[in-house]
Structure 1
């Protein structure tokens, strides 16, 4: 049995971000389903793992972690000899990749999450989409993608010439937006489109998508 346990639900983008990394690193893990509809993430047993009552939560022996990006960094260092090398060894290249990891967390994620909530999730819960919120955040997304198009004229990936955490962290929210009419913003920028096609075709991501559909 795998020593690593990941608690969550495949529908959570944060859970997806954590487990796609485990697949990239070829690290075995045990998936522990959390029924969020039933409020399992707010029960004491789960709060012990994540005091904010959010997924995912990871256990590796006596270590307990939450926050998907922190989980990915831990796995990258703890299992550095396995799978894909997703953090550069060179200090300057590592610093560059770190910048774009911050960009994903502070520029792309907030905008894409709000758009996903308005366009995809609200209708699922019988709520009304706010067109003003969509318009405002779509304008912000366009600005982010313009920066990405320029950056990708300098290197194949956001963090440099090799696939890194800076790219991987985008996958869950990116996949959500590709299922909406916002896909045109990605496809109209040739370098962004090539980058999207590349990272969404990775075998590790295909395994996560299969888990979602299961």
Structure 2
């Protein structure tokens, strides 16, 4: 059975999985989930993810949810294909990559997700961004990007001199954020900007971003 990804090409967490699949050069089927009519909160989708969130993945006899866990699974199972996203052959390199994977998940993801909600989702719902929320989340984002700037002044990528999952995981929300009026928070930091230009121009990123049509 071909790999099946249940989700939407515009949804950030689905995008994360699609990026991993493309970096690995794997064939897959994207199975759209009608979230607008609540299909993700009903059976049969709940048998794939009991929390009713997208995406979910089917690969042979295994069913997975949570995008980062899915990506780690794919990177481990297909480690001999495409980019070496987890640096599994080196304990030191994999440990460093894992640190920055955690940083993305616990430090960067929150502010970026909130900002995308304000700048992308609110307008789609006929609402304007809440300036108080935007200001608070930008303050958080600045602090994280300052750490990124320091890190990237010493290495080409977050995990070292090689592209890893630590970089890939940042892309879904950044791809949307860079289309907002606040993109200068990235472009004003020379090392972060050089990193962004690199990871956003990868063939896998370009291909997947074609489906991100919300803005």
Query: Do both share a fold (TM > 0.5)?
Result: yes
- 1:208 paired residue number: 208
Aligned-pair distance for 1:128?
Answer: 3.7
- 2:4 paired residue number: 5
Q: Which runs of 5+ in 2 are unaligned?
A: none
1:175 aligns with 2:175: yes
Aligned-pair distance for 1:187?
Answer: 0.7
Aligned-pair distance for 1:4?
Answer: 0.6
CA contact (8 A) 2:10 2:211 kept: no
- 1:65 paired residue number: 64
**What is the CA–CA distance in structure 2 between the aligned matches of 1:136 and 1:30, rounded to whole Å?**
39
- 1:49 paired residue number: 48
CA contact (8 A) 2:40 2:54 kept: yes
Q: Which runs of 5+ in 1 are unaligned?
A: none
Aligned-pair distance for 1:35?
Answer: 1.3
Provide the secondary structure at the position in 2 that maps to 1:5.
Answer: strand
- 1:127 paired residue number: 127
What aligned pairs does 1:1-214 form with structure 2 within 5 A after superposition?
Answer: 3-88=2-87, 89-213=89-213
Aligned residue-pair number = 213
**What is the CA–CA distance in structure 1 between the aligned matches of 2:94 and 2:167, rounded to whole Å?**
13
Aligned-pair distance for 1:39?
Answer: 1.2
Aligned-pair distance for 1:138?
Answer: 0.4
**What is the CA–CA distance in structure 1 between the aligned matches of 2:145 and 2:14, rounded to whole Å?**
24
Q: String of CA shifts for 1:65-112, please: whole Å, max 9, x gaps.
A: 000000000001101111111111210111011000000000000110
**What is the CA–CA distance in structure 2 between the aligned matches of 1:212 and 1:103, rounded to whole Å?**
24
Q: String of CA shifts for 1:33-67, please: whole Å, max 9, x gaps.
A: 11111111112100000001110000001100000
Root-mean-square deviation (CA, aligned residues, Å) is 1.2
CA contact (8 A) 2:100 2:158 kept: yes
**What is the CA–CA distance in structure 2 between the aligned matches of 1:211 and 1:107, rounded to whole Å?**
26
Provide the secondary structure at the position in 2 that maps to 1:64.
Answer: strand
